[in-house]
Amino acid sequence: MLVVGAGLSGAVVARENALQGKKVLVIDKRDHTAGNCYDFIHSSGFRVAEYGPHFFHTNSARVQEYVQRFSEWTPWEHRVTARIQDAAAGVDVHVPVPANITTVNRLFGLSITNEAEMDAWLAKEQIPCAAPKDSRDVALSRVGQRLYDLLFKGYTRKQWDKWPEELDASVLARIPVRNNFDDRYFTDTFQVRTSGGHDGGRGGRQAACRRPSCRAQ
């Protein structure tokens, strides 16, 4: 059996088929396993994520049980803080992302205290769009013009060198908007980082692909 791609999906497919007695060859155009999750130990001693950091999160007990066989895991609840320039005040404002009550209160000098108040604020700001054609439409329909300009517009330009209107609607649709004070990026019950990295080394997540009848090149 030939598996094209030595990332997480390829590793799982290869392992499960090898367990069924099949001889599996995994190929990848890159010179490493783990796909976009690949990381390595830099000469400085720090672990570097080649393509950006990755975190594992799921609500599935079945998936959680499966992955725990291949690595040691460190509990990790990811939190992101954005620095927004307040031109009028001449200062930087630090706010949680995804946007929540704290984000709105700090940016607009409000004192929202509960979900009902946050829902009401969002309803006033949102620009309805029945059929979003791009990420700009999605963001405006969820948070309105002001929050879009401060948080989303520059983010996609910096991240991918593209404006939101150049990106598919699904890109910004995956970023949640909170109506409470929860500042975690994900809310899944199981949130972790692999303790041994993703490079296939000792304890690495690519251990899922290690079988005598499975090889990668």
Whether 203 shows a pLDDT value over 50: the answer reads no
Q: Buried b / exposed e across 92-109, counting CB within 10 Å, b at 16+? A: eeebbbbbbbbbbbebee
- The β-bridge partners of 73 are 194
3-class SS at 99?
coil
Give the pLDDT of residue 210: 56
Inter-residue contact 50 to 39 (CB < 8 Å) = yes
Containing H/E element for 131? none
Place of tokens 């984000």: 103
Residue range 164-174: mean pLDDT, rounded? 94
Tokens of 190: 């199981």
d(CA 165, CA 23): 46
Tokens of 204: 């690495």
d(CA 186, CA 54): 12
The larger pLDDT score, comparing residue 154 to residue 61, is at 61
| Averaged pLDDT of the chain | 89
Binning pLDDT at 50, 70 and 90, where does residue 88 land?
Answer: low
Give the pLDDT of residue 29: 93
Inter-residue contact 51 to 38 (CB < 8 Å) = yes
